[in-house]
Amino acid sequence: MNLSTILSRFLVFPGLLFAVPAAWFYLWVERKAMARMQQRIGPPFMQPFFDFLKLMGKEVPARPGFSGFLMRTWPIFSVAAAAGACGLLPVIQSGAGFNGDLILLLSLLEVPSMFLIAAGFSSRSLWGQIGSVREATMNVAYNIVFLMAVIGIAVSQQTFSLQALAQSHGSMLRWVAVLAILVCLPAKLHMNPFSLTNAEQEIYAGPTTEYVGAELAMFELAHGLEWVAATGLVAVLMAPMIANPFAAAAVFVAFSLLVVLVLTGIAAGTARLAIDSSVRFYGQCAVILIVIGVSSALLMRIKL
């Protein structure tokens, strides 16, 4: 592992130079596919980028005091954490990873949600606080399933290295865990049927109700980077590791886009669930995962 390899991974691919345009592209694919499924035209190709520029050009109201400082800080940290998560994905066999980088990736994936919760409370808005409470509740509910699935894959392969997991062969338990991760992504990415934290019909924009201008633009960018990191994690676990860097990049993007389309189809075909139904759903998923995991462990011991 050398410095140039690490920098190219975090700054070029799959880091910033790739992740930021990919974030806007994935958001456009999600919006366009949703519109087509609902028999609408949908936005033009550059619309997410134009929305970002428009927000960046708007004036941000003065926010005095410590709460104002926090409101300006949360979006920046969210973008940094989401971009760091993208840079950790082992798309190319570069050897830039380290043992335990899966733990760091999971931590960075949680940072934007944590800061979104903090942003809603920092804004001192009723709608922002309600959105933060919903985000925190859903975060606990789906993370039980999400972390069980990812850690289950790591334990079954006896490694917490992303590079080693990407190169390992799949098993039935691995595919069940990947399915569980896919079930968690709509809640993580605020999509139907778990779009509770940003339900415009109920609580306006949730935690970001009081955010405008560049601050809101950074939160939108962080959301797009979450798309890249979350779908990229599924692509890394599903797609075979290819030695050719260009072929590996193409397969990574293809699998990521497939996940985007699958999640969009689920969102288009479902209505928003209530908070109690959502929590109950993920509780049932956790029980199913526990049963499958214990059964698999017992079968492995019997075979040994």
pLDDT tens for 110-162 read 999 999 999 999 988 888 898 899 999 999 999 999 998 898 888 888 888 88
The number of folded domains in the chain is 1
pLDDT tens readout for residues 71-122: 999 999 999 999 999 999 988 876 567 888 899 999 999 999 999 999 999 9
- Per-residue pLDDT band for 265 (boundaries 50, 70, 90) equals very high
Position 242 pLDDT exceeds 90: no
- Residue 258 is part of which domain span? 3-303
Q: CA–CA separation, 85 vs 22, rounded Å?
A: 14
The one-letter code for the residue type at 218 is M
Q: E strand or H helix at 123, and its extent?
A: none
Q: Report yes or no: 63 and 212 within 8 Å, Cβ to Cβ.
A: no
d(CA 145, CA 158): 20
The Cα 233–Cα 252 span in angstroms is 10
Question: Under the phi-then-psi rule, with left for phi > 0, alpha for psi from -120 to 50, and beta for the rest, what region is 42?
Answer: left
Q: What is the spatial distance between Cα 112 and Cα 118, in angstroms, rounded to a whole number?
A: 10
pTM score of the predicted model: 0.91
- CA–CA separation, 252 vs 110, rounded Å? 22
Instruction: Report the mean per-residue pLDDT for the chain.
Output: 87
Chain-centroid distance of CA 286 in Å reads 19
Contact 31, 40 (CB under 8 A): no
Angle of helix 126-157 versus helix 101-122 axis, rounded to 10: 170
